[in-house]
Chain A
Amino acid sequence: MGDFKVHRVRFFDYMPSGIRCMAFNHKTHRLALARLDGSVEIFNFSDNFFQEKIIPGKDSQSIEAICWVGERLFTASLNGGITEHDLVNLRPKYSLDAFGGPIWTLACNAQGTHIAVGCEDGSVKLFEVHPENIQFERNLDRQKGRVMSLSWHTSGAQIAAGMLDMIRVFDVKSVTSSGKSYCAQNAGGSRRRVRRRKCVVWSVVFLSDHTIVSGDSAGKVQVWDGNMGTLIKTHQISKWDVLCLSASQDENSLVAGTSEGTVVQFQFLASTLVEAEKEWVRTRTLKPHTHDVRAVLELEQIIVSGGMDTQLVVRPLMDKVEIKSQDTAPRKIHFPHRRLVSCAEQAGLLLFQFPAHLEVWRLGESDGHGRPGDRLLVRRKPEKLLQLKRKGEEQISCSALSNCGGWVAYSSVSSLRLFRLQCDNNHLSIVKISSLPKFLSSAHQLCFSADSSKLFVASSNSTVHVISLSKSECKLVHSFKSASGCTEPVHLLAPSADGAWLATANGACEIHIYNLHKLKPHCSLPLHRSCPSAMAIHPTTNNLVVVHADQQIFEFSVVEGRYTDWSRKLQRVGLHPLWLQRDTPVTHVTFNLQNPAQFLLHDMYMFCLVDQSLPLPEQRDQFFNQLTLKSLSEDERKSRIHAFKICKRFQPLLSMFMLKDGALVVVERPLLDITTQLPAPIGQKKFAT
């Protein structure tokens, strides 16, 4: 496999934020997810659950509800505003005050014509959706107490609203403010209610047969008759709160998430084979989380849940599955599929990106050599050189550190900042460069060229700006417009080491290569159906290695403008099934400087050294064969060896780099560390503990 000196970095204290709410778009198969810190993430469920986009949040904005209207995304916040997000430029498009105090819930009707919001002051407000914006239409009958949850009937004529101790059905179509409204008193229904606090109806679902299902703080899922306002059935599923509910599209199944971290499924079944009458029956209890489940979705045969323990869990239901395969395995998404760490490979510095600040660390040093597997003594400890707080209340969306360690750049939604770092022995100075061109107000991705003389800024409308850096001034060299006219944001940038080429990948899966000497677009790669998750240009051969979210690997010769022979061979032979079954995307590609035939890939659970000089594994070959190879004789080893060498020692892996001196840097983030910092879980008594 090759021997490397490894810097094992565990001082990146990255702490993901808890998941607050989710919405799924059935047409585009995109999941929108809002976190407690106000950031919104878009996952593509038809592309291996790849995290396509991240819209960074604002400190003052805590999102409470999210919904899709067609392909537009709306969120509601506790600061009283409804925000539409611009999914092309990855920023809030506009924000509208509903004037009802904090908004707890947001729901769009099935027709996509109206949005209803539930406010703190007890009003339900209707907004009409226009192509460009939304407009306030009217208030529904105002109630006492906050409106915690809303659900439209599929006809769009009625809305069910969950409040404190009450569920109310509003008639939307009638001319008067509220035609008929039934009051389901005592939604809590518990006899102890008098002594207890008021029961909060955290979630309601209005089914098309006028059944209302509610989940409340008394731990009950209750089924109501929406026409008469009578209780049909009560399921006590938890001693704590039922926080969220979601019904499948065919309305045969329903899931509820509780404070205990359980997800309970209900199905609409006939209780006996003979009876034709169906009722809601509790069928499954899953425990995907350790903390509160704040958001849950039931899609076709998949339950998606997220909560305070910050991970997104996608769990296929094994109803009609006979064979275990990649599609039936549950998966957990812990970390963003995005680069949070940058490395100055010459200077041995690391840049860590947090939502509110940046940190620059110098790697430690060790002396002496050891045998493989030895732990080397650290001569100089890693050292935190700098903590850079961001300005304003917008979160940092991307950052970059130059190869020489002399430049740091970061961007939020509305500002781009560049700093010059000077580090002599123990003295560090930082100077803000203020002479940046005015139009550079934000970036989707930042990258420095290999010789640190240029900064590449991926900006709105797929434009890439090239800025030359010098001590005296920074000026724009050229702006590359998107060659295909696509406006999707660029999420990957890969410059070549000789400074001649720049490759960009955008959300529409396009990869373009630009010539930096002639300042012209050079060529585009054939479109692959899956989004590129990592790419890099080889320092000597100028071959572009691209890894997609569906785990496919391509190698493209930039100079010749075609796929290399190795890449064609790989496509012909096909990747090993075990490689394709991994459930986290490759997030970084680096090259082995000592051996030009090798490149390194990593995902969250492993890193892989691909040796292009070795034969590719056949479908039936043993894929993880490191241990077997060790025990074989020299001759046998030669016949069994293949190109993919996998190391799973470092987990969970956030980033991996190769320094100039050939040492590897692996950045780990132990999940245990995250767990110890999470908010308090529910305490449950377990027998015999």
Chain B
Amino acid sequence: MAKKQHGKTGIAMDKRKNMKISENIYLGVASSEDDDDEAPEEVTFEDSKATALRSMKQAIDSVRREKELLKEKRKKRQELFQEQKKRKLLPDNILEEIDSTVPKKPKVSEVEGQGKEKKRRRRYKRRSLKGNCSVMRVQDQSLANKQQQSALKFIQSRLYGKGTKRTTASQLLSLENKRALNKTAAVQFVDKQWGLERKEKAKKFKKKWKTKQGSGRD
């Protein structure tokens, strides 16, 4: 909990706040001194001051460390995002070809520091180029195949997609069973609240059980 709070406030934390913390700590120490009257006064003032200072320093250090950790985390994340974006992009040579086909403004000299900015700009430009078209390799998928896939998807979404109110086979069977004259055990007994693993297990068990029943009938 404490860490989280630090994380939230830590960004805007300044020296004044640190002072406050140290004051609190000081007060805390003082109050403790008041509390135990009977205890022998072995701790000198210097010692107590030193411990107080130490604890204060530790507090400040921990705050700073937290800040640094956070910074590092953010940095790592940023890097990860960039890498992912790079992975999503097509290989460089293809991008170059696409770029070369379109008349382009003269290239800005490539400096290491400007690399990021340039990439971003390039990406932006490609997006505007595309319009409704998308770039894909022919060898990945023939046109007919892709069309067939999309047609199948259309049928699937129409017949089994959202809003078609499909149930499962086991529910159909249980409904039949409920309305039958002589009711028997469920063909597939599964509870909605079960996890996936348990459902699978139940299915397997059921299958075994059914074959046993089947062979037992003769």
Question: Is A122 on the interface with B (CB-CB < 8 A)?
Answer: no
Q: What's the least CB distance linking B14 to chain A, in Å?
A: 55
Q: What's the least CB distance linking B194 to chain A, in Å?
A: 17
Decide: B215 and A689 in contact? CB cutoff 8 A: no
Contact pattern, B 136-155, Cβ under 8 Å of A = 1, otherwise 0: 00000000110110011010
List which B198-218 residues lie within 8 A (CB) of chain A: 210-211, 214-216, 218
Decide: B144 and A680 in contact? CB cutoff 8 A: no
- Contacts A78-B151, A689-B175; A682 near B165 (Cβ below 8 A): yes
Decide: A676 and B173 in contact? CB cutoff 8 A: yes
Question: Is A484 on the interface with B (CB-CB < 8 A)?
Answer: no
Decide: B147 and A101 in contact? CB cutoff 8 A: yes
Q: Which of B154, B165, B214 contacts A10 (CB 8 A)?
A: B214
List which B139-182 residues lie within 8 A (CB) of chain A: 144-145, 147-148, 151-152, 154, 158-160, 163-173, 175, 178-179
Contacts of A241 in B (CB 8 A): 158-159
- Contacts A241-B159, A375-B216, A676-B173; A78 near B178 (Cβ below 8 A): no
Chain A interface residue count, CB cutoff 8 Å, equals 42
Contacts of B18 in A (CB 8 A): none
Q: Which of A62, A102, A680 contacts B160 (CB 8 A)?
A: A680
User: Which residue, B159, B167, B170, has most C-beta atoms of chain A within 10 A?
Assistant: B159
Decide: B188 and A676 in contact? CB cutoff 8 A: yes
Decide: A292 and B159 in contact? CB cutoff 8 A: yes
Question: Is A290 on the interface with B (CB-CB < 8 A)?
Answer: yes
Contacts of A102 in B (CB 8 A): 147-148, 151
Q: What's the least CB distance linking B189 to chain A, in Å?
A: 12
Q: What's the least CB distance linking B166 to chain A, in Å?
A: 4
Q: Which of A240, A668, A672, A681 contacts B187 (CB 8 A)?
A: A672
Measured as residues with beta carbon below 8 angstroms from the partner, the interface class of chain B is 20 to 34
Contacts of B211 in A (CB 8 A): 10-11
Q: What's the least CB distance linking B169 to chain A, in Å?
A: 5
Q: What's the least CB distance linking A329 to chain B, in Å?
A: 22
Question: Is A683 on the interface with B (CB-CB < 8 A)?
Answer: yes
Question: Is A606 on the interface with B (CB-CB < 8 A)?
Answer: no
Contacts of A28 in B (CB 8 A): none
Decide: A680 and B168 in contact? CB cutoff 8 A: yes
In the bound complex, what is the Cα–Cα distance between A236 and B129 (angstroms)? Answer: 48
Decide: A681 and B169 in contact? CB cutoff 8 A: yes
Decide: A6 and B218 in contact? CB cutoff 8 A: yes
- Contacts A675-B173, A676-B173, A678-B169; A10 near B215 (Cβ below 8 A): yes
Question: Is A649 on the interface with B (CB-CB < 8 A)?
Answer: yes
A686's nearest neighbour on chain B, judged by CB, is B175
Decide: B179 and A681 in contact? CB cutoff 8 A: no
B176's nearest neighbour on chain A, judged by CB, is A290
Contacts of B160 in A (CB 8 A): 679-680
B211's nearest neighbour on chain A, judged by CB, is A10
Decide: B178 and A670 in contact? CB cutoff 8 A: no
A674's nearest neighbour on chain B, judged by CB, is B169
A677's nearest neighbour on chain B, judged by CB, is B169
Question: Is A79 on the interface with B (CB-CB < 8 A)?
Answer: yes
Decide: B178 and A689 in contact? CB cutoff 8 A: yes
Contacts of A677 in B (CB 8 A): 169
Contacts of B170 in A (CB 8 A): 676
In the bound complex, what is the Cα–Cα distance between A680 and B159 (angstroms)? Answer: 10
Contact pattern, A 652-687, Cβ under 8 Å of B = 1, otherwise 0: 000000000000000010101101111111110010
Q: Which of A8, A60, A680 contacts B215 (CB 8 A)?
A: A8
User: Which residue, B151, B165, B166, B173, has most C-beta atoms of chain A within 10 A?
Assistant: B151
Decide: A80 and B169 in contact? CB cutoff 8 A: no
Decide: A120 and B167 in contact? CB cutoff 8 A: no
Q: What's the least CB distance linking A551 to chain B, in Å?
A: 27
Decide: A683 and B214 in contact? CB cutoff 8 A: no
Question: Is A265 on the interface with B (CB-CB < 8 A)?
Answer: no
Contacts of B145 in A (CB 8 A): 79
Decide: A80 and B144 in contact? CB cutoff 8 A: yes
Decide: A259 and B171 in contact? CB cutoff 8 A: no
Question: Is A246 on the interface with B (CB-CB < 8 A)?
Answer: no
Question: Is A409 on the interface with B (CB-CB < 8 A)?
Answer: no
A675's nearest neighbour on chain B, judged by CB, is B169
Q: Which of B144, B159, B210 contacts A259 (CB 8 A)?
A: B159
List which A109-151 residues lie within 8 A (CB) of chain B: 120, 146
User: Which residue, B170, B214, B218, has most C-beta atoms of chain A within 10 A?
Assistant: B218
In the bound complex, what is the Cα–Cα distance between A675 and B188 (angstroms)? Answer: 11
Contacts of A683 in B (CB 8 A): 165-167, 171
Decide: B215 and A80 in contact? CB cutoff 8 A: no
Q: Which of A8, A62, A79, A197 contacts B144 (CB 8 A)?
A: A79
Q: What's the least CB distance linking B144 to chain A, in Å?
A: 5
Question: Is A350 on the interface with B (CB-CB < 8 A)?
Answer: no
Contacts of B188 in A (CB 8 A): 676
Contacts of A62 in B (CB 8 A): 148, 152
List which A7-64 residues lie within 8 A (CB) of chain B: 8, 10-11, 60, 62
Question: Is A358 on the interface with B (CB-CB < 8 A)?
Answer: no
Question: Is A200 on the interface with B (CB-CB < 8 A)?
Answer: yes
In the bound complex, what is the Cα–Cα distance between A680 and B178 (angstroms)? Answer: 19
Question: Is A395 on the interface with B (CB-CB < 8 A)?
Answer: no
Decide: A120 and B151 in contact? CB cutoff 8 A: yes
In the bound complex, what is the Cα–Cα distance between A292 and B163 (angstroms)? Answer: 16
Q: What's the least CB distance linking A351 to chain B, in Å?
A: 21
B170's nearest neighbour on chain A, judged by CB, is A676
In the bound complex, what is the Cα–Cα distance between A10 and B208 (angstroms)? Answer: 12
Decide: A8 and B218 in contact? CB cutoff 8 A: yes
Decide: A80 and B167 in contact? CB cutoff 8 A: no
Contact pattern, A 318-344, Cβ under 8 Å of B = 1, otherwise 0: 000000000000000000000000000
Contacts of B159 in A (CB 8 A): 241, 259, 292
- Contacts A241-B158, A676-B187; A686 near B171 (Cβ below 8 A): no
Question: Is A217 on the interface with B (CB-CB < 8 A)?
Answer: yes
In the bound complex, what is the Cα–Cα distance between A60 and B142 (angstroms)? Answer: 13
Decide: B218 and A200 in contact? CB cutoff 8 A: no
In the bound complex, what is the Cα–Cα distance between A384 and B176 (angstroms)? Answer: 34
B151's nearest neighbour on chain A, judged by CB, is A102
B142's nearest neighbour on chain A, judged by CB, is A79
Contact pattern, B 90-133, Cβ under 8 Å of A = 1, otherwise 0: 00000000000000000000000000000000000000000000
In the bound complex, what is the Cα–Cα distance between A543 and B138 (angstroms)? Answer: 63
Sampled A-B contacts (10; CB under 8 Å): A8-B215, A10-B211, A62-B152, A78-B151, A80-B144, A101-B151, A375-B218, A672-B210, A680-B160, A680-B168
The 6 closest A-B pairs by CB, nearest first: A683-B167, A680-B166, A102-B151, A101-B147, A689-B178, A78-B148
| Chain B residues with a Cβ under 8 A of chain A | 144-145, 147-148, 151-152, 154, 158-160, 163-173, 175, 178-179, 187-188, 210-211, 214-216, 218
